[in-house]
């Protein structure tokens, strides 16, 4: 279990991580989602003590990371797949880690096999690795000490669809055996595919969290009528706000049943009425995280 309580990190006047609290439960894959620069990597570095926080605390299984003896035997960490010596071979990278942890050479070979790095690939120097291969090597490195907690920063970045599918199976299996997985991503679809729970971060603050179903539940309704103008009127009469979705349909924060009732009352024919799903989550993600982009553009844009 990973527990963050009110973790804060400031760089001068800029608050990179602002009172972040959440729990990643054992037996689940928790996705840590947010745009670039939202504070994901900083939060993860704080969890493992690479970045000192200015406030709050991060505990892993009830301990500060630094208080865990030989921490790699308990917590597998991948913070940056490219942070490897370009001149070492993949196998040598793992052997150095294994030697530090006190794991045997056989474990290195097992992990190479597990992540699908072949004998000839393991002999190549890391500078000749694709990002996908580096990610696999990083996962092997994280799993080397047979940990029960995984902290992975953007592990899916650079993987092809088959690689993402493989990662999904690996992490779900790890969680099914009681392990805790926290993985970050700036891409919603990646996390959506892999994670059971999601924590959304924007501008250093947690903006939403919950299971996918819980998050979707707040996303509202998609409705597509035969006559858009008539539906808009009907919704207006029922005091339901709706916005056009661009394909002749509308989105609303209201429940589908309420939208349906309003349409029925006005006798408007509906072609589609459903709970807003995938797109809803994406919209929410964009909305929750767009403040950053908008704020950085607006000042100049308005003044010029």
Contact residues: another protein, CB under 8 A: 1, 25-27, 45, 48-52, 60-63, 65-66, 68-74, 77, 79-80, 82-88, 92, 96-97, 99-102, 141, 148-149, 177-178
CA distances from 80 to 118, 135, 141, 155, 283 (A): 22, 8, 11, 8, 28
**Nearest CB to another protein, comparing residues 85 and 236:** 85
CB of 187 to another protein, least distance (A): 22
In the chain the beta strands, taken as DSSP E runs, fall at 2-11, 14-24, 29-33, 55-60, 75-78, 149-152, 180-185, 197-202, 205-211, 221-225, 242-244, 250-252, 270-275
From 1, 36, 40, select the one nearest 17 (Cα to Cα).
40
**Nearest CB to another protein, comparing residues 75 and 188:** 75
Evaluate whether 181 touches 29 at the Cβ level (below 8 Å). Answer: yes
Evaluate whether 4 touches 39 at the Cβ level (below 8 Å). Answer: no
**Nearest CB to another protein, comparing residues 64 and 224:** 64
Tokens of 46: 């704080």
CB of 54 to another protein, least distance (A): 12
**Nearest CB to another protein, comparing residues 52 and 267:** 52
Burial class (CB in 10 A: 0-12, 13-18, 19+), 230: middle
**Nearest CB to another protein, comparing residues 66 and 304:** 66
**Nearest CB to another protein, comparing residues 101 and 232:** 101
DSSP 102-168: T--HHHHHHHHHHTT--HHHHHSBGGG--HHHHHHHHHHHHHTT--SEEEESSTTTT--HHHHHHHH
**Nearest CB to another protein, comparing residues 92 and 283:** 92
CB of 73 to another protein, least distance (A): 5
Evaluate whether 94 touches 112 at the Cβ level (below 8 Å). Answer: yes
CB of 297 to another protein, least distance (A): 27
Q: Reduce the DSSP state of residue 17 to 3 states and report it.
A: strand
CB of 190 to another protein, least distance (A): 22
CB of 28 to another protein, least distance (A): 9
Secondary structure letter of residue 73 according to DSSP: G
**Nearest CB to another protein, comparing residues 16 and 200:** 16
Q: At what angle do helices 228-237 and 256-266 cross, to 10 degrees?
A: 110
CB of 3 to another protein, least distance (A): 9
CB of 164 to another protein, least distance (A): 23
Strand-pair category, 2-11 with 14-24: antiparallel
């Amino acid at each position: 279990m990973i527990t963050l309580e009110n973790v804060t990190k400031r760089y001068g006047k800029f608050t990179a991580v602002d009172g972040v609290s959440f729990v990643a439960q054992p037996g689940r894959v928790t996705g840590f989602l947010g745009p670039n620069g939202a504070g994901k990597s900083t939060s993860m570095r704080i969890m493992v003590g690479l970045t000192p926080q200015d406030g709050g605390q991060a505990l892993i299984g009830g301990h500060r990371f630094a208080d865990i003896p030989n921490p790699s035997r308990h917590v597998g960490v991948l913070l940056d797949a490219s942070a490897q010596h370009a001149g070492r071979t993949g196998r040598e990278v793992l052997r150095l880690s294994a030697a530090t942890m006190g794991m045997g050479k056989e474990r290195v070979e097992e992990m190479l096999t597990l992540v699908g790095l072949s004998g000839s690939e393991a002999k190549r120097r890391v500078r000749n690795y694709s990002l996908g291969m580096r990610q696999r090597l990083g996962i092997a490195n994280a799993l080397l000490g047979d940990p029960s907690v995984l902290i992975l920063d953007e592990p899916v970045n650079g993987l092809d669809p088959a690689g993402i599918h493989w990662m999904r199976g690996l992490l779900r299996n790890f969680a099914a055996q009681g392990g805790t997985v926290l993985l970050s991503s700036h891409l919603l679809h990646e996390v959506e595919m892999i994670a059971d729970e999601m924590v959304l971060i924007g501008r250093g603050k947690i903006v939403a969290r919950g299971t996918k179903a819980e998050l979707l539940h707040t996303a509202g309704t998609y409705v597509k009528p035969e006559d858009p103008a008539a539906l808009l009127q009907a919704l207006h009469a029922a005091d339901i706000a709706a916005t056009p979705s661009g394909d002749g349909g509308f989105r609303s924060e209201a429940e589908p049943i309420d939208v349906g009732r309003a349409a029925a009352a006005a006798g408007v024919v509906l072609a589609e009425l459903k709970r807003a799903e995938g797109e809803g989550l994406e919209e929410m993600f964009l909305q929750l995280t767009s403040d950053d982009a908008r704020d950085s553009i607006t000042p100049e844009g308005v003044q010029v």
